[in-house]
Amino acid sequence: MTKILVFQAKKIITMNASNPYATHVAVQDGRILGAGTLDEMAMYGAYDLNDSFADKILTPGFVEGHAHAMEGGVWDHPYVGYMDRYDPEGNRWKGATSMADVVDILSGIEAGMDTPDTPLFAWGFDPIYFGGDRMSVRELDQVSTARPVLVLHSNGHLLNVNSKVLEMAGITDDTNVYGVLKDDAGKPTGELMEMAAKYMAYKATGNPFFGKIHHHALEQYAKSATNVGTTTATDLFATFDEGSLSAYREVTARDDYALRLMPAMNTLDEGFEDGIATLKAAQKDNHDRLHFGLCKVMTDGSIQGFTGRLKWPGYHNGAPNGLWNMPPEQLAELVMAYHKAGMHLHIHTNGDEASEVMIDAIEAAQTAHYRPDHRHTLQHCQMADASLFRRMAKLGICANLFANHVYYWGDQHAAITMGPDRARRMDACATALREGVPLAIHSDAPVTPLAPLFTAWCAVNRITASGNILGPEERISASEALYAITLGAAYTLHMDHLIGSIETGKYADFAVLENDPLECPVDAIKDIPVWGTIVGGIAHQARARKG
């Protein structure tokens, strides 16, 4: 065994109910021996004292239960989102606040590209901020008609392309594919909704956003995580081809890799039996920084993209109901097969109809093949009401709610998609806790920035981008929010025995903060500076923001 290392802090918030606060924590071989006073830590034996953080606050390392490793790779391509963002190196990217801004940004980049046939990929676009305007081939053809131009929406569920991509993909007036949008004259608009339609474009141009993951993206993902105090994160829609599996194994095997990674296999990539076999084989490579075992199920799409599936009365503005990525009957078969095989499902459900369909599917699977501690988790679960949460509690289903949605799209949901009444209950953290549902909250990075303290601030304050309080009854306390980004998230990942709190035997993973999130004003939680992280007893400093 290695020598004991004791970290000193101004205050240590342990999230361990039997020992909630400490000033010192003892670490050996990357795990926690105990937390308490320095005299108590001395009882473990000879130690080296690290007092570098004596003026800082330590909490358990934050756990991001719904994000994507593409957060590390998207920054290789132009960002055209509405709000300013920071990349993994701390550089600020200015938002595009009009359709004209988007076209100008892309036109400038296109003019500087050398090879004429290299696709121009961009990401982060969100037309809901532009009123009723939708992007079409008309705008992207202003960028180029010779070069393929593809713009991924912020939600990841929609893609806009220019006429060159339509030509390459063979998308014409006669194309009859679910999700290929057409205008009143029956001509493709260049907007492609959900997986089948987007795949037609990506098959012709390649896809840098989804699918195979690379070393560079994983390295940058860890930098983003360190910058915001995150020590464990999912890659919650992972392709398990051999190249990606090798990247996961090789990058996480490095001693300096500052993130525990939990890829969730995309269950739509293979048939049920093959997918289950692939996941079981991958689990043989698990180690302390790499944990295979999660499965991702895609049901509906995005509410702000109008592809989420809603119960009556549907979309407030009268838009047609959203799209299924797989027919509900087939989704139920998938849930049954993976549940029976003992797999751990994380299920994307944005609209309340999607949540209800998946609750029905889990109930049928539990009835046929009872498992006492499955912890299947509904991800996003934005529009679930109290009756659905009650059913989830009875069935042992967890919820990982998209709290960031309140800030980024709360105003739009109240005015456009949901109406004022239903919008009050979106991401209903207080109802979930009241009804006894195990709760986590998340960012869905890169859909919104990876920043657990901001996510906690959203759940505590429920303030929209315009400054309105949306559904004050659904606000939760700072301590409940901190739990949701530490031990609560760890529970939904079946990892609460190893992460999420500072107690004996768990990984020595800590977020290093400048201020106390339980003592500062609740409206200041998001502004707490993060020094960095400690992962397995090794400190990693955040990159300073620039610009």
Q: Is the same domain home to 91 and 161?
A: yes
**Residue that terminates a domain, selected from 174, 205, 236:** 205
Range(s) of the domain holding residue 335: 215-535
Q: What is the pLDDT of residue 114?
A: 87
Q: Is the same domain home to 51 and 129?
A: no
**Rounded Cα–Cα distance for residues 216 and 234 (Å):** 17
**Rounded Cα–Cα distance for residues 351 and 367 (Å):** 25
**Residue that terminates a domain, selected from 173, 205, 237:** 205
Q: Is the same domain home to 409 and 490?
A: yes
Query: Is residue 104 in some structural domain?
Result: yes
Strand 294-298 relative to strand 47-50, pairing: unpaired
Query: Is residue 180 in some structural domain?
Result: yes
Spans of the chain, pLDDT less than 50: none
Query: Is residue 63 in some structural domain?
Result: no
Q: Is the same domain home to 257 and 319?
A: yes
Q: Is the same domain home to 133 and 181?
A: yes
Query: Is residue 511 in some structural domain?
Result: yes
Q: Is the same domain home to 284 and 194?
A: no
Q: What is the pLDDT of residue 487?
A: 98
Question: Which region, left, alpha or beta, applies to residue 407 given φ > 0 means left and ψ of -120 to 50 means alpha?
Answer: alpha
CATH code (residue 407): 3.20.20.140
**Residue that terminates a domain, selected from 171, 205, 239:** 205
Q: What is the pLDDT of residue 51?
A: 98
Query: Is residue 210 in some structural domain?
Result: no
Number of domains making up the chain = 3
3-class secondary structure, 421: helix
Q: What is the pLDDT of residue 449?
A: 96
**Rounded Cα–Cα distance for residues 531 and 165 (Å):** 44
Query: Is residue 69 in some structural domain?
Result: no
**Residue 86 burial by CB count (10 A; 0-12/13-18/19+): exposed, middle or buried?**
buried
Query: Is residue 68 in some structural domain?
Result: no
Q: Is the same domain home to 160 and 238?
A: no
Q: What is the pLDDT of residue 32?
A: 98
Q: What is the pLDDT of residue 272?
A: 94
Q: Is the same domain home to 155 and 242?
A: no
Q: Is the same domain home to 156 and 253?
A: no
Q: Is the same domain home to 230 and 186?
A: no
**Nearest CA among 466, 414, 413, 432 for reference residue 355:** 432
Q: What is the pLDDT of residue 117?
A: 87
Query: Is residue 378 in some structural domain?
Result: yes
Q: Is the same domain home to 274 and 356?
A: yes
For residue 25, CA distances in Å to 231, 255, 378, 417 come to 17, 22, 35, 48
Q: Is the same domain home to 131 and 36?
A: no
CATH code (residue 185): 3.10.310.70
